[in-house]
Structures are given as structure tokens and as C-alpha cells.
Structure 1
Amino acid sequence: MVKRYLLLDDGTSFAGEAFGDLTSTTGELAVNTNLNYYQEALTDPTYHNQIVTFLQPSIGNIGINPKNYESILTSAKGIVVHQSENISFSQLKDLSLDSFLKERHIPGICQIDTRQLQKHVREHDIKKASIVNTNDAHAFDQLQAAVLSNQQIQAVATPKPYLVPGSGVTIVVIDFGLRESIIRQLAKLNCNMIVVPWNTSFAEMKNLDPEGVVLSSGPGSPAEIDAEVIENIQTIQRHLPLFGIGLGHELIAIANGAKVARMSIGNYGSNHPVRKIITNELIYPNQSQDYAIVTDSIASDKLIVTYKDLINGTIQGIRSRDYPTFSVQFSPDGSGGMVDGFDLFEEFVESILAHRRMAHEAH
């Protein structure tokens, strides 16, 4: 095995062994606590620019299933595991995690004590890391000097509109880094979907005659989104039912006067209990977030908090008091975790049908 090193931005290094591609890489370090779903994470655009560390001791033990892709393109920049398994259950019996990483040019490092790594990351607020061949001063200097692109949405979102036909309500899905599982859940409800680029204006959307709009999940900081997008969201919610997920949730919060800030420790996994406030029900959805709504920035006359994380206290859901607009920070589409949030898609379709009835009654 080829020896490799995981370098952290505080000067610490972990020695391990190479698997996957042998190139060097630098990215934000994300620690994922899920027991499985490594393929979904590696292809989820939310993980763009990130080196993903999996705490599950053995990764790769179910091979790669092409039906589980969240995107055709691969977004993660690297993978860190304790033990890598070379198993494949694909039809051709040749698509193991190692071969998948080589095919996608993603470097990996194994034989890392990921539990110790997680503890170190939490204690020292690690943000950036590199997977490299040497741990000398030059390698650390390169890590410190590395500047990650802030054009993340442009790198992962669709550049052109496309149609996902259905016989039900017509929905425009604004792509900020769309997970395919969001499309799958809407398709189960027979939605007729038109996926559009992140910077599509309301005027352009209106020509498509939608009955509702979904703001997708996506990577990066909401502060880097153009002001025109926020104004666009403000216009949409005055006219149509609106549902936001992940980054889309953060943008709806900003459009309604709230602030969003980077968390000191990001949260990736499905081990946090989230409380649905109206019923006190606990769910354990998949989460992949580095940013959260600042609690005291919410104007109570504009927004209602609907879900809250019981571990770190972050707001996980909001609803508008004035418009048929709501959003969640977690993944209601079941990507890489539980299916506890599926009912939110049904709720969105029901809000569209109610809006349609009101429009007919008004005429």
C-alpha cells in the first residue's frame, strides 16, 4: 500500500494508506456520522469542495449502486476512512468503492483513526485539510495558502432548464445544487417538474406557469448568493407556494429578514433528534449543514419556528405567517438517512392544491 498523509490546517498530520485516486487534494473537512450512505454523500452536491470523513469503521462494504447517485457528477474532493472494503454488488461486479473513486479521480486515505480525528476536529475547530504524499513544511504551507472556490453553486447547478414530466401539479425546482432524491420524492407524487438554473428570474419562471416553487439544497455560504436571488425569493413567495430545503431554507430565512451564520462545528449525519414543535414528535433526519439561522434574528411577526435540533439548538424548520412558504434545514428526501420527512413533500403539494382552490374561488 502507498503511504499518504491527512494534513489539517492547525499543523497536525495523520499517517494512513492510499486508496482510490493517487492525486493530492485540498478541501473543507466534513465529518459524517452515518453508518452507511457513503455513495450518496460522495455524489451529493452539498459536499462540493469537501473532504468527507466517515466515522463508520468499515466503508465500502456494500459496493456502489448506480441507482443511489445523488448527482451524475461527483462533488466531494476526497474521502477519509478507517477501513476501506473492496466489495462490489454491481451487475458487472467491478464497481467497488476503490474503483469508483479511481474512475471519478477522487483520492482517499484509509487506516486513519477517524474517532480520534473527529475529537481533534471538534477541539481545534479544523476547517481545511489535504490528502498528500508528504507531511513536510512545504505541504503545510500549500494547505495554508489554498483558497477554495466560492463559485460552488455555479460548479454544480444545471446551466439550462430541463423537464421531469409528470401528470400532477406543475412545480419549478430552482437548482442550487440539487439532490436527485428530491426529484424522486416529487416524482412519487406525480409532480410535473421544470428544473431551472439558480439565477432564473421570477419573470422567466412565470412564463412556465408553475403552481409552486422548490428551492433546492446546495453547497457553500448563503452570504455568497447574489442579492437579486433574495429579491426573487421575496417575489415568488408573494405569488406562489414555496418550499425550501437546506440552502433553500437558509435563503428563505434571509428573504424574510433573518440572519444566517456559520456554525462553529458543522453537522453531517442522522444522529441528532429534531423536534417537530407543533406535535412534539422527534425525528432523526439526515443533516448536512455548516450554516444555521441566528435564532434571535427571527422576526416573530414574519416567521414561525417549526423544527429544532435538540443537540445543538439550531433552527431546523420555519414557516411564513403571511405566505404559503415553509422550509427545513435537514434532508426530508431521505438522502443518506431516515425517511421521517417525506410528509413535507405531501404537505407542499397540498398547499399548492389549496392555493389553486383559492385562486378559482377568487375568480
Structure 2
Amino acid sequence: MKAILALEDGRTFEGEAFGATGTTTGEICFNTSMTGYQEVVTDPSYRGQIVAMTYPQIGNYGITTEDNESAQPHVRGFVIGELCNVPSNWRSTQNLDTYFKEHGILGIEDIDTRSLTKHLRSLGAMRACLTTELDAAAAIEAAKNSPSMEGSDFVKEVSTEKDYAWDQESRNWIIPNASTGEPGPYQELPPARHRIVAYDFGIKYNILRRLRQAGFEVDVVNSRATAEEVLAKNPDGIFLSNGPGDPAALDYIHEELKKLIGKKPIFGICLGNQLLAHAFGGTTFKLKFGHRGGNQPVKDLRTGKVTITSQNHGFAVDPDSLPDNVEVTHINLNDGTVEGMRHKEHPVFSVQYHPEAAPGPNDATYFFEEFAAMIDATK
């Protein structure tokens, strides 16, 4: 079946449909990761977006349930060069086409993803329509009439309805190694040393796994949890998760975070970093085409060390808006945008990228230990 991808500026691409049929709209963006399409599809931070993968063949290792980043896919649509329907992976349980059909996700293949990516890099992320029903003209109009990402609150759609304690499988999967004595397929977990509250703005499962692997017992709360409700749990620390949409639209969260600064150690990732900026009194702005992929270079301004990071965000912190008691600690080497902050007076820090990145890179996993050390220092 034919499918059409139409952009709000009138550019169209025609290809072959896979997954579900119908019509969907959302902001079109691209991801440069070579692996990890399943993690992208199930990442709640992609709520409201149609994602184009720049890597040419997608689906070659299938879908493995325990690799999901949430209970369901969140992308509005998926754009690829070539679909592999016969995955080669002993852990795979189904192919991508079947998975999309089950969850009602539209996909399109056999389009020039390089041309699409260059177009978005030149003109910026924009609204789009993916359809198997409409003609090109109607699809362009549907894209133009769809909501903008700016001003959107998708957090309310992806945050947990009920608070819960994370008790799922969190052991790290490893390959058995006779030379080191590692029996596999899992490493045993350390005892829990700290109990924290994690705000769910669209939290990924691997963040929760990494927190438990670093010795944290985690209670997850809804995005609308008040500061008073969080402090009533008397946690050792507070974690602010990733999530979708425009951080400036989440003023109800900014106000609660303001009340938590200085009360408990705080660590934020991605949207959590942007929300802290607003709580500090700063602002955020929309990037032209965002940072999405596993190859973003970040410099630690305190040490000069450069790490390769996994990122997924379309907004960034304005460094000139931050107060004097907040320090920018990390920057993106491609465009100089803020990638990390810390408060000079209180135990609060955050990064814009993903230390828990699955399938990688793993350069930044040390931040979970840094959070534990910060909690130890404040006890």
C-alpha cells in the first residue's frame, strides 16, 4: 500500500506503508542513531512526533519485549529507508511491522531519508502528516492544521496515573564470560542504599533500571505531585525524568520544583534539566531541529573532558537567563548549547542528555554514582 509523508511547507514524499493504516499528524524530526529503533519507538519523550531514522535499514533485529522503554510505543509515525521483515536475533519475539499493526502506529519506508534529513536541517523541524488515505494536497493541509509543538503539554498524557514503587527486573544483561567468572545472563544487583522519589514526566524504563543498579530504591510519582506530597515521603533525594513537549508550558511543575530546591538533593535528566532551569528563574527556547541520536559530543567545562552522548530533545536552556547562583557545567560541542547545570548553593544538578542510554553510548553512566555521592555528602 502506498503512503504519503507531507510537510507543512508543501514538500511531500511517497513510499510504501507498513504497520497500521490511516492518517496521523505530528512534528517531524530525525534521529541519527545506528541502533536502538525499538527504544526510540517506545520512548515517551517522542509523544506527538513523527520520527525519521537516518540509518538506512530498520527492523533487522526485530522487537524484544524486555528492551522496551515503556509499556507502549509513543511515536505518531515512523519514517525509514528500508524495512527488514525477517529479523535476525535470538531474543526477538516479533518483527517491527507486526508490532506497529498491534499498536496502531503508521510507518512509511522506501523514501529518501537523506533528502528528508537535509531538508529538516535546512528549514527546521516542522509539522507533518503521514497518511495512507489522503492525497498529497489534503495531507499538506492536515499538516498545516495540526497543533504546534511549542506550547504543548504531552507530559500529562504519558505520566503515570498512579504512584508506584519500581520493582521490575533491573539486573544488567551480560554475555557469560568464563575468563572473568561471569556466569550470565544477569549481573546481581547491589543492596539499595538510598530511597528516592522520581517524578515521572515520561520516564524511561532504563532510567529506573540504572537507578536501581546504582543502589537506589525508587518511588515513582505523577507529574502533578506537589512538593508537599513528595517531601512527606521523606526521600533521600529527588529525581526529575525525561519527557515530551515544551518545558515552558509546564508552569504547574515549575512552581512545585521551586519549593523543592534546597530541601533535598535533586538530579534531573533531559526535560528534568529544562524544568530545573525554569524553577531557577531561567527560560528555554526551541532548537531549529533538535538533538536526537547517539553521537552528540559534550564537553565538561570543569574538567575539559569530552564524552559522546545519547540525546533526544527539541528545546534547550538559555544560559543568559540563568541566575548567578547557577553554573553551566556542560556544553554541546556542535552548537554550544547548555548540556548540564549545577546550583552553587544547593545539592542540585542536571544534564540535558541521557546517562542511562540504551543501547548506548555509556560514557555518562557515572552520573548515577555522582547522585549517590551527593546524597551521602548531605546526610
Q: Which TM-score tier does this pair reach, normalised by the shorter chain?
A: over 0.9
**C-alpha contact 2:153 2:246 (8 A) present in aligned 1:** no
Please give the secondary structure, in 2, of the residue aligned with 1:273: strand
| TM-score of the two chains, using structure 2 as the length reference | 0.90
Match of 2:4 in 1: 5
Match of 1:163 in 2: 165
**C-alpha contact 1:23 1:105 (8 A) present in aligned 2:** no
CA distance in 1 between partners of 2:285 and 2:97 (Å): 36
CA distance in 1 between partners of 2:64 and 2:297 (Å): 29
CA distance in 1 between partners of 2:348 and 2:249 (Å): 23
Match of 2:182 in 1: none
Q: What is the deviation of 1:84? A: 0.5
After superposition, what is the alpha-carbon deviation per residue over 1:264-316, rounded to whole angstroms, capped at 9, x for unaligned?
A: 221100222111111111111111111011122222x2111111100011110
After superposition, what is the alpha-carbon deviation per residue over 1:131-172, rounded to whole angstroms, capped at 9, x for unaligned?
A: 113433222222211226834111101011101257321100
Gap change, CA 1:24 and 1:184, over 3 Å in 2:
same
**C-alpha contact 1:59 1:83 (8 A) present in aligned 2:** yes
Q: What is the deviation of 1:89? A: 5.3
Gap change, CA 1:103 and 1:259, over 3 Å in 2:
same
CA distance in 2 between partners of 1:155 and 1:175 (Å): 11
Please give the secondary structure, in 2, of the residue aligned with 1:250: helix
After superposition, what is the alpha-carbon deviation per residue over 1:165-186, rounded to whole angstroms, capped at 9, x for unaligned?
A: 5732110001111011110111
Please give the secondary structure, in 2, of the residue aligned with 1:6: strand
Match of 1:256 among 268, 280, 285: 280
Q: What is the deviation of 1:126? A: 3.9
CA distance in 2 between partners of 1:321 and 1:146 (Å): 42
Match of 2:320 among 276, 292, 296: 296
CA distance in 1 between partners of 2:250 and 2:359 (Å): 26
Match of 1:272 in 2: 296
Please give the secondary structure, in 1, of the residue aligned with 2:261: helix
CA distance in 2 between partners of 1:87 and 1:249 (Å): 40
Match of 1:359 in 2: none
Q: How many residues align?
A: 353
After superposition, what is the alpha-carbon deviation per residue over 1:86-139, rounded to whole angstroms, capped at 9, x for unaligned?
A: 134577965101111111110100001101111111222241111113433222
1:268-347 → structure 2 map (5 Å cutoff): 268-299=292-323, 301-347=324-370
Identity of aligned residues (%): 35
CA distance in 2 between partners of 1:257 and 1:136 (Å): 44
1:1-363 → structure 2 map (5 Å cutoff): 2-88=1-87, 95-133=94-132, 134-147=134-147, 150-164=152-166, 167-227=192-252, 229-299=253-323, 301-356=324-379
After superposition, what is the alpha-carbon deviation per residue over 1:298-348, rounded to whole angstroms, capped at 9, x for unaligned?
A: 22x211111110001111000000100000000111135311111001000
CA distance in 2 between partners of 1:162 and 1:90 (Å): 33
Q: What is the deviation of 1:260? A: 0.6
Which 5+ residue runs of structure 1 have no aligned equivalent? 357-363
CA distance in 2 between partners of 1:254 and 1:337 (Å): 29
| TM-score of the two chains, using structure 1 as the length reference | 0.93
CA distance in 1 between partners of 2:166 and 2:138 (Å): 49
CA distance in 2 between partners of 1:126 and 1:326 (Å): 29
**C-alpha contact 1:164 1:192 (8 A) present in aligned 2:** yes
